[in-house]
Chains A and B, each alone.
Chain A
Amino acid sequence: MASYSFPQPLPGEITPKEHYLRRRTILSGAGLLAAGGVAKAAGLQTHAGPFGTSETPTSRDDITHYNNFYEFGLDKSDPARLSGDFHSRPWTLRIEGAVARPLTIDIDQLIAAHMPENRVYRMRCVEAWSMVIPWDGIPLADILRQVEPLGSAKFVAFRSVFRPDEMPGQRGGAGGISWPYVEGLRLDEAMNPLTLLAVGLYGDILPSQNGAPLRLVVPWKYGFKGIKSVTTLSLVETMPPTSWNQLAPDEYGFYANVNPEVDHPRWSQASERVIGSGGFFGEKRQPTRMFNGYGEQVAHLYTGMDLRKYY
């Protein structure tokens, strides 16, 4: 049977040794690295993963109270305020389409089967602000390998939930997005070691406002690619529709790679405001980096592509 061949880079190719070593200090500094490299924190068993960053993580309070999750409302404070009725358990994830072994699995079984890793990632929103977030999650590649994509599979289509009873933003009026939210990645993007299905944050189970129980994290792309509360992954042959692209194709492309040289039609993408970085008078504005600083890991995915055209 034809099956996708997975690139297997050496660990040193993915993360240079000095970063690897620095990660340890960061993780231990953040209190995430307990004896034996396994941390048990508030209901989520995690272990240290191969990626980190030297930046200071954004505070938990900011990460959980500044969210774009239009299913709960348009304001960034809405998801924390209005997600009280949302039930992220029990939850079933389905993986279907062009795969040899379709999978239907309970979220907690999935977490038990793959112990989540700690990954401190930069997050760059298309609105020109950024955070540094200590996720806990499962590399998407691990799960995809398990279902064995067929040779015909070229893209992964992601689908979120439609629960207007629990999500006030879905009861009409949230700016014209047709629910449920959908996203997509090229298969090689999905298989990249950086791509994560996050199930936790700061060692705790993912809060509803951050996309419980399971959300996509693609750190070199704008935040809106990180579909929240995922129910279904479907391996497909053609490029799947994505919610923001359907709404405003000239503003949000399928790729949505962080790129300081390609501006959003309404604002510059050259720099970003760092959330929680200094209050009212000292908020930091820093230059945005190509691929959000993850070029070393992902630039090869786009060689020869005109990133102005495929924004």
Chain B
Amino acid sequence: MKRMSGRVSDLVVSSRWARKPVVSLFLYTLGFTPALWFFLLGVRNELGPDPVRSFEHTLGLWAFRFLLASLAITPLRVMFGVNLISYRRMLGLLAFAYAFMHVTTYIVLDLRFDFAILYRDLTRRPFLIFGMIAFICLLPLAITSNRMSIRKLGRNWRRLHRLVYPALIAASVHFLMAFKTWHTDALLYVMCGSALLAVWVVFYGMKLQKLRLGSSG
């Protein structure tokens, strides 16, 4: 990677820290702190009258937050010259981990393994269908997040990882549908997601145009 001058180069250097095992262990621990914290509150019966639902929602919210953070990496670099690219995999994996814990809590603590209800929910209820679509979209991304997959898949890796955008859209619909009314917080999160999606569409469009110009010129 080319060294840049001043502020940006410092960030590039700092972003390389993420590759050091100690640093990445520390950051992952930090990332899992909310889950652990709320789990302990739940065990101590300090999550209010409806602890399972509260825990479930908290995990879903953090999954969405990490998803937004992972998607913000590229716009930050392109628009503001802030390079945090080395943290992107970690943020994406945390988003997946929280989504996984969210789904697990739903099946284990909420439904208590009642697969009849699970089947009915997943075949009939758009709210839960969208949630599950988001989760399923994230699954291959998590599996192929290692170096070997990146090398093996080559160009297809990038293509595959565009699945993050369907995941974002499905998760946004799921988030908005979770409330009986339009919920201000959910709307704000979804607006952030839409902005990131819009930025990506613009970049992608520009890139395509450049390629087309390049090939014709």
Q: Which A residues lie at the B interface, using CB under 8 A? A: 61-62, 65-66, 70, 74, 76-77, 126-127, 129, 173-177, 244, 247-248, 251, 263, 265-268, 270-271, 273, 275-276, 279-281, 283, 285
Query: What is the CB-to-nearest-CB distance from B160 to chain A, in angstroms, rounded to a whole number?
Result: 31
Inter-subunit contact A175/B181 (CB<8 Å): yes
Inter-subunit contact A263/B49 (CB<8 Å): no
Inter-subunit contact A70/B49 (CB<8 Å): no
Inter-subunit contact B50/A76 (CB<8 Å): yes
Q: Which of A173, A175, A270, A273 contacts B53 (CB 8 A)?
A: A273
Closest 7 CB pairs of A and B: A175-B181, A66-B49, A62-B49, A280-B42, A266-B127, A279-B45, A280-B51
Residues on the B chain within 8 Å of A61, using CB: 49
Closest residue on chain B to residue A264 by CB atoms: B125
Residues on the A chain within 8 Å of B180, using CB: 126-127, 175, 244, 248, 251
Size bracket of the B interface: 20 to 34
A129 to B43 Cα, complex, angstroms? 20
A270 to B121 Cα, complex, angstroms? 11
| B55: Cβ under 8 A from any A Cβ | yes
Closest residue on chain B to residue A263 by CB atoms: B124
A271 to B184 Cα, complex, angstroms? 29
A80 to B51 Cα, complex, angstroms? 17
Residues on the A chain within 8 Å of B126, using CB: 265-266
| B10: Cβ under 8 A from any A Cβ | no
4 further A-B contacts with Cβ under 8 Å, apart from A66-B49, A175-B183, are A65-B49, A74-B183, A247-B181, A268-B117
Q: Which B residues lie at the A interface, using CB under 8 A? A: 42-43, 45, 47-53, 55, 109-112, 114, 117, 120-121, 124-128, 177, 179-184
Most interface-central of A65, A126, A271 (chain B CB within 10 A)? A271
Inter-subunit contact B117/A270 (CB<8 Å): yes
Inter-subunit contact A283/B49 (CB<8 Å): no
Dominant SS at the B interface?
A: helix
Q: Which of A244, A265, A285 contacts B114 (CB 8 A)?
A: A285
Query: What is the CB-to-nearest-CB distance from A70 to chain B, in angstroms, rounded to a whole number?
Result: 7
Closest residue on chain A to residue B55 by CB atoms: A280
Q: Which of B51, B125, B182, B183 contacts A267 (CB 8 A)?
A: B125
Inter-subunit contact A173/B184 (CB<8 Å): yes
Q: Which of A70, A244, A283 contacts B52 (CB 8 A)?
A: A283
Residues on the B chain within 8 Å of A77, using CB: 48
A113 to B164 Cα, complex, angstroms? 64
Inter-subunit contact B179/A74 (CB<8 Å): yes
A239 to B37 Cα, complex, angstroms? 49
Inter-subunit contact B182/A275 (CB<8 Å): no
A sample of 19 inter-chain contacts (CB < 8 A) reads: A76-B50, A126-B180, A127-B180, A174-B181, A175-B179, A175-B180, A175-B181, A251-B180, A263-B125, A267-B125, A268-B120, A270-B117, A275-B49, A275-B50, A279-B51, A283-B51, A283-B52, A285-B112, A285-B114
Inter-subunit contact B121/A268 (CB<8 Å): yes
A272 to B179 Cα, complex, angstroms? 17
Residues on the A chain within 8 Å of B182, using CB: 175-176
A251 to B126 Cα, complex, angstroms? 13
Most interface-central of A263, A268, A280 (chain B CB within 10 A)? A280
Residues on the A chain within 8 Å of B45, using CB: 279-280
A273 to B111 Cα, complex, angstroms? 9
Residues on the A chain within 8 Å of B53, using CB: 129, 273
Closest residue on chain A to residue B185 by CB atoms: A74
A285 to B50 Cα, complex, angstroms? 12
Inter-subunit contact A271/B181 (CB<8 Å): no
A174 to B183 Cα, complex, angstroms? 7
Inter-subunit contact B43/A280 (CB<8 Å): yes
Closest residue on chain B to residue A248 by CB atoms: B180
A264 to B183 Cα, complex, angstroms? 19
Inter-subunit contact B52/A280 (CB<8 Å): yes
Residues on the A chain within 8 Å of B55, using CB: 280
A209 to B121 Cα, complex, angstroms? 32
Inter-subunit contact A267/B127 (CB<8 Å): yes
